[in-house]
Amino acid sequence: MTSNSERNVDIVVEVYGSPSPDIAAGVCLFAAGWFFWSLLYDWHELSHPYKYISAYYYYLIVVPLKFFSNVWQFSSNLTSSRNLNFVFGAIAVSLYGMACLPFLMGVFFWILKKLKIQKFWAIVFFGPALISLLWFLGGIFG
């Protein structure tokens, strides 16, 4: 018979209620995205070079997405029936989302292909954000 001091006992303590690192990272990314999204609408008020970088993303991302509201407003006021207008609006927004946005992405990649930089699409898309980050960090630590 073995005594209590001779037994190896592994005790695993689980803390319930603490968020996993994936959830915490997701919340941080969401908050940062929300902050930068709000800056895109005021791109013309930012200082140099953030103004130009924000304008790049504003016209690349926000303007095509803002057109959803234009499509909805036009297509949901076609008749005097509220329910039918809702159906028309939902169909129009769905068609815009399934047809026009992939078309705009295709145009973006077509332009990159014509410029012979298609394989560097990530640099073209994320490069201005990286430049902005480096400029910001240079201002803090420089």
31 touches 38 (CB < 8 A): no
Amino acid at the residue 58: Y
User: pLDDT for 118-141, tens place per residue?
Assistant: 888 888 888 998 998 898 888 888
Element of type H or E holding 40: helix 21-40
HSE on the CB side for 40, CA within 13 Å? Answer: 17
Residues 60, 70: Cα–Cα separation, whole Å: 17
Q: How many C-beta atoms lie closer than 10 Å to residue 138's C-beta?
A: 9
Q: How many residues does the chain have?
A: 142
Q: Per-domain residue ranges for the chain? A: 21-71+100-141
Label residue 124 exposed, middle or buried (CB < 10 Å: 0-12, 13-18, 19+).
Answer: middle
Residue 15 CA: distances (Å) to CA of 20, 23, 24: 11, 15, 16
User: pLDDT for 12-68, tens place per residue?
Assistant: 555 566 667 788 888 888 888 888 888 888 888 988 888 999 999 999 888 888 888
What pLDDT does 17 receive?
A: 60
| Model confidence pTM above 0.95 | no
97 touches 68 (CB < 8 A): yes
